[in-house]
Amino acid sequence: MRLVPVNCLKGGEIIAKTVIDENGSRLLAKNTNFKSYYKKKLQARGIDRIYIADKLSEGIEIKDVISEKTRLRTINLVKDTLSIFKATQQIDVTQLKTSVIQIVDDILSNKEILYDMVDIKSKDDYTYGHSVNVAVLCVMLGRKIGAEKSYLKKLALGGLLHDFGKILVPDEILNKPDKLSKDEFDIIKQHPSHGYQIFKDHPLLTPISKVMILMHHEKVNGEGYPLGITKNQIHEGARICSVCDVFDAMTSKRAYRNEYTIVNTLNEMERMTKDHLDEDLFKTFRGMICYYPVGTTVLLSNDTIAIVEQNKIGSIDRPTVRVIYDLKNNEEIFRRVDLSATKELKVERELISEEYMNNPSILRAMRP
């Protein structure tokens, strides 16, 4: 399977990965045919790429770090927990705790700790999908630094609930597509405190999950909020949450901007270690994120186009690729290259949707 811009699909292609909508239900189901009228449906939700299965990408499989069942179930539980709180002011995290065990077990069942995927989220699904991604990334980073299973479960629950306090921020501020005024931003900045107030006496949450909610916007230089504390005063769980939160936020499309590519996100985060993010944790984090996830299309340094086939730990910026088109000679080719074994060739960059659509040669090469 491979990731393609929705724009270049004609209809009839096989959908290779389920697309989940903002309500946690299946918008497009795996193994069904794409219909051209789906385009509008997807674009209205800000989804501009999906995974398809075709001849060019035969044999290329992506593996989510948690199962689709776990992901869907957790997204729905986060959504239900929020709406029950909104209606009744009651919080029941019993089921969320079961989900947390599932997330941790799913992640521990993978041999390698590699985040090798592009999560397709609708722009309206930001709250729920984001919470689950942050939880998953927190557990992966926790595992990478050698945390025990009981700590991983606390990290997962904190990750799932880190932004819960946003429920008390008015929707028109939360979803405002334009730049926020200072007063509006001040209101948003209250969400960690709101979240902490909601959970601080909850018997089923451990202190670690609670401080993750309270401290996930603190910065190592002391200029974060709400407490303005510095690096060692910020609990490690919250520093982990902060790295994962920033990564998932930057790689997601939002109402007011497009997503960043993974490489641009990691480079920007590197700069943020000077004042915001924990440098050591970020270094470890960077080592588990594949720069070019399996199924993405990349431009190589010799002007050829390739689909990423496989990533390996230790060479996450040099995947094994399937070269399919030579842009210089405008001809189709088929060659497998392990970029970790050659010095002559490297990935120039990931090809993004606009490039795909605006360059006729690329479009011809890539059209299913």
Which residues lie near Fe ion (CB under 5 A)? 163
Shortest distance, CB of residue 141 to Fe ion, whole angstroms? 17
Q: How many residues does the chain have?
A: 368
Shortest distance, CB of residue 162 to Fe ion, whole angstroms? 6
Shortest distance, CB of residue 164 to Fe ion, whole angstroms? 9
Nearer to Fe ion, 27 or 246 (CB): 246
Shortest distance, CB of residue 216 to Fe ion, whole angstroms? 6
Distance CA 122, CA 7 (A): 16
Kindly state the helix (H) or strand (E) to which residue 338 belongs, with its residue range.
Answer: strand 331-338
* C-alpha dihedral (328, 54, 254, 300), degrees to nearest 10: -30
Residues with Cβ within 8 Å of residue 332, at least 6 apart in sequence? 324, 325, 326, 365
Shortest distance, CB of residue 65 to Fe ion, whole angstroms? 22
Nearer to Fe ion, 78 or 307 (CB): 78
Distance CA 326, CA 55 (A): 18
* Closest by CA position to 3, among listed 359, 356, 330: 356
Q: Which residue has the tokens 């689950």?
A: 132
Nearer to Fe ion, 22 or 163 (CB): 163
Q: Which two tokens stand for residue 188?
A: 């948003």
Shortest distance, CB of residue 168 to Fe ion, whole angstroms? 12
- Whether residue 261 contacts residue 250, with contact meaning beta carbons closer than 8 Å, is answered with no
Nearer to Fe ion, 13 or 218 (CB): 218
Q: How far is C-alpha 159 from the geometric centre of its chain's CA atoms?
A: 13
* Closest by CA position to 94, among listed 105, 84, 86: 84
Q: Which two tokens stand for residue 183?
A: 């007063």
Nearer to Fe ion, 13 or 163 (CB): 163
Shortest distance, CB of residue 166 to Fe ion, whole angstroms? 7
Q: Please, is 296 exposed, middle or buried when counting C-beta atoms within 10 Å of its C-beta (0-12, 13-18, 19+)?
A: buried
DSSP state of 78: H
Which residue's Cβ lies closest to Fe ion?
163
Shortest distance, CB of residue 165 to Fe ion, whole angstroms? 8
Q: Please, is 29 exposed, middle or buried when counting C-beta atoms within 10 Å of its C-beta (0-12, 13-18, 19+)?
A: exposed
Calculate the alpha carbon distances from 261 to 77, 258, 289, 352 in Å: 29, 10, 12, 8
Nearer to Fe ion, 163 or 259 (CB): 163
Nearer to Fe ion, 102 or 242 (CB): 242
Nearer to Fe ion, 163 or 248 (CB): 163
